[in-house]
């Protein structure tokens, strides 16, 4: 029995304002019992009244909603990017959404920039630590604006934070019928942080004897992602490395317009968003690819327990790719609205 789930919607800036409302229409077409409440937190709102996220905003999201659906945040008029930091990174950090789940799935060989790569060969998931690392922005500057200026940027890795995301990755692998979990770090140079990741990964892997633990340095992993993507199943890594490798991974799928993600803390209100940003040059032109947002909506439905509704969306997107009902970034000749309408029309 389904109960109506409450979803907070933050379209944000740029193309987020185009792709999110039409992804909501796609969700509605599945018949999933959900209720949307939209929030205008964005660059426009910040420039109007200085609000990034209102007082008590994160508590309200956690208390009153089952999930959050976000477009993108970032606007050239806000040079400091303060609103994006406070809203997007604020949700990730303050709501403790520690696992950033980014599935990487090639839907059609034509979308992959690599030669002789078939869809079966690109099908893995990156689990990115989402609450620590260099993203804490801890550090400082000494002797600023002198020839002796010193800048430091700290990489924060806690036992608790590292362990929970590694456990999440093993649990994810089990749940999704995967056999291997690969931890990527740079422990050959970052020995303190890397040492903690190595130690915890070795310990935790002992609790999952049905799964094969693997390790790679993150630079070697980049090569592997391009040369032999078929060898990858589940990758777990820190916040910054996860950010970088998921843009590379997005390219394998056809570009940022295709990539989806979830920011998850099991049992807490979690957040779903396309991997792409606000793409200011594309905004308002009906050219942005809506697929990343639509597939993020499917991840959200799956997370909320509406698996069959999520499958309907994924099947409709696969059909769009097969029939080339796509925007120009992935070789189609349709607009944002037309692609989304076509996908919505496939859903019964
Ligand atoms: P971006 O993802 O906006 O764009 C990168 C490239 O991908 C551009 O060439 C863009 O045209 C293309 N692209 C992105 N999404 C697309 C789509 N749906 N369809 C077709 N093409 C698409 O990244 P950027 O240019 O580095 O950043 C722009 C702004 O977005 C910045 O303010 C940045 O901080 C912000 N940003 C926000 C998020 C987020 O909210 N999650 C993520 C990344 C960047
Ligand atoms: C992402 C983005 C964000 C990040 C930016 C916009 C802060 O690049 O979601 O991948 O670095 O996490
Ligand atoms: Mn990124």
Q: Choose one of 15, 277, 280, 296 to mutate for the ligand 2 pocket test, by most ligand atoms within 8 angstroms of C-beta.
A: 277
Output the residue whose Cα is nearest ligand 1's atom 36.
277
Q: 14 CA distance to ligand 1 centroid (A)?
A: 9
pLDDT tens figures, 32-58 = 999 999 999 999 999 999 999 999 999
Which stretch of DSSP H or E encloses residue 34? strand 34-38
Residues within 5 A (CB) of ion ligand 3: 243
CA–CA gap between residue 270 and residue 147 (Å, rounded):
46
Indicate the Cα dihedral angle 22, 23, 24, 27, nearest 10°.
130
Q: 7 CA distance to ligand 3 centroid (A)?
A: 24
The widest CA-to-CA distance across the chain, in whole angstroms, is 67
CB 258 within 8 A of CB 250: yes
Quick one: which ligand is closest to 102's CA? 2
Q: What are phi and psi of 74, to 5 degrees?
A: 150, 130
- For residue 309, give Cα distances in angstroms to 35, 244, 302: 15, 31, 8
The residue to which tokens 């959404």 are assigned: 97
Q: Choose one of 68, 277, 320 to mutate for the ligand 1 pocket test, by most ligand atoms within 8 angstroms of C-beta.
A: 277
- According to DSSP, residue 317 is labeled H
Q: 319 CA distance to ligand 1 centroid (A)?
A: 25
Question: How many residues are listed for the chain in this entry?
Answer: 348
pLDDT tens figures, 154-187 = 999 999 999 999 999 999 999 999 999 999 999 9
pTM, two decimals, is: 0.97
CA–CA gap between residue 113 and residue 253 (Å, rounded):
8
Higher pLDDT, 348 or 5: 5
Residue in 71, 69, 68, 81 with CA at minimum distance from that of residue 15: 71
Residue in 179, 175, 220, 213 with CA at minimum distance from that of residue 197: 213
CB 11 within 8 A of CB 39: no
Give the N- to C-terminal CA distance of the chain in Å, as an integer: 20
Q: Is the CB of 73 under 6 A from ligand 1?
A: yes
Report whether pLDDT(246) > 60.
Answer: yes
Output the residue whose Cα is nearest ligand 1's atom 23.
277
Provide the H-helix boundaries in 11-158: 16-30, 43-49, 57-64, 82-84, 90-94
- Which residues belong to the active site? 135, 186, 219, 243, 247
What is the predicted pLDDT for the residue at 3? Answer: 84
Give 60's Cβ-side CA count (13 Å radius). 8
Output the residue whose Cα is nearest ligand 2's atom 8.
243
Report whether pLDDT(1) > 90.
Answer: no
Give 58's Cβ-side CA count (13 Å radius). 14
Q: Is the CB of 87 under 6 A from ligand 1?
A: no
The neighbour count for residue 165, using CB atoms within 10 Å, is 27
Question: For residue 272, what are its two tokens?
Answer: 């779903």
Q: Is the CB of 74 under 6 A from ligand 1?
A: yes
User: How remote is the C-alpha of 135 from its chain's centroid?
Assistant: 15
What is the predicted pLDDT for the residue at 2? Answer: 59
CB 27 within 8 A of CB 301: yes
Q: 2 CA distance to ligand 2 centroid (A)?
A: 33
Q: 279 CA distance to ligand 1 centroid (A)?
A: 4
What is the predicted pLDDT for the residue at 348? Answer: 87
- For residue 111, give Cα distances in angstroms to 115, 191, 315: 11, 38, 17
CA–CA gap between residue 317 and residue 325 (Å, rounded):
9
What is the predicted pLDDT for the residue at 34? Answer: 98
CA angle centred on 137, ends 133 and 138, rounded to 5°:
90
Q: Is the CB of 273 under 6 A from ligand 1?
A: yes
Using the atom order of ligand 2, give the atom closest to the CA of residue 239: 12
Q: 288 CA distance to ligand 1 centroid (A)?
A: 10
pLDDT tens figures, 54-96 = 999 999 999 999 999 999 999 999 999 999 999 999 999 999 9
- Adjacent-strand bridge partners of 6: 35
């Amino acid at each position: 029995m389904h109960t109506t789930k409450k979803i907070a919607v933050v379209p944000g800036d740029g193309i987020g304002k185009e792709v999110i409302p039409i992804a909501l229409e796609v969700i509605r077409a599945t018949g999933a019992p959900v209720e949307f409440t939209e929030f205008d937190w964005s660059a426009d709102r910040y420039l109007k009244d200085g609000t990034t996220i209102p007082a008590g905003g994160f508590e309200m999201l956690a208390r009153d909603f089952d999930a959050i659906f976000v477009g993108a945040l970032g606007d050239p008029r806000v040079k400091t990017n303060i609103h994006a930091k406070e809203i997007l990174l604020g949700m990730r950090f303050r709501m403790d959404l520690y696992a950033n789940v980014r599935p990487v799935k090639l839907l059609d060989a034509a979308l992959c920039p690599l030669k002789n790569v078939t869809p079966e060969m690109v099908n893995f998931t990156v689990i990115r630590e989402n609450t620590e690392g260099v993203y804490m922005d801890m550090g400082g500057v000494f002797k600023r604006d002198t020839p002796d200026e010193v800048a430091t940027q700290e990489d924060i890795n806690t036992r608790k934070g590292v362990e929970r995301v590694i456990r999440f990755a093993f649990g994810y692998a089990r749940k999704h019928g995967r056999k291997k979990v690969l931890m990527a770090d740079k422990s050959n140079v970052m020995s303190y942080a890397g040492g903690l990741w190595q130690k915890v990964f070795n310990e935790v892997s002992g609790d999952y004897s049905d799964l094969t633990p693997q390790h790679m340095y993150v630079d070697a992993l980049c090569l592997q992602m391009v040369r032999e993507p078929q060898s990858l199943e589940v990758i777990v890594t820190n916040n910054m490395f996860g950010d970088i490798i998921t843009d590379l991974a997005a390219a394998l799928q056809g570009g940022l317009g295709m990539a989806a993600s979830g920011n998850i803390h099991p049992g807490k209100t979690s957040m779903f968003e396309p991997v792409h940003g606000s793409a200011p040059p594309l905004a308002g032109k009906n050219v942005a690819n809506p697929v990343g947002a639509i597939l993020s909506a499917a991840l959200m439905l799956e997370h909320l327990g509406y698996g069959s509704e999520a499958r309907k969306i994924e099947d409709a997107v696969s059909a769009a790719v097969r029939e080339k009902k796509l925007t120009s970034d992935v070789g189609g000749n349709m607009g944002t609205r037309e692609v989304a309408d076509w996908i919505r029309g496939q859903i019964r």
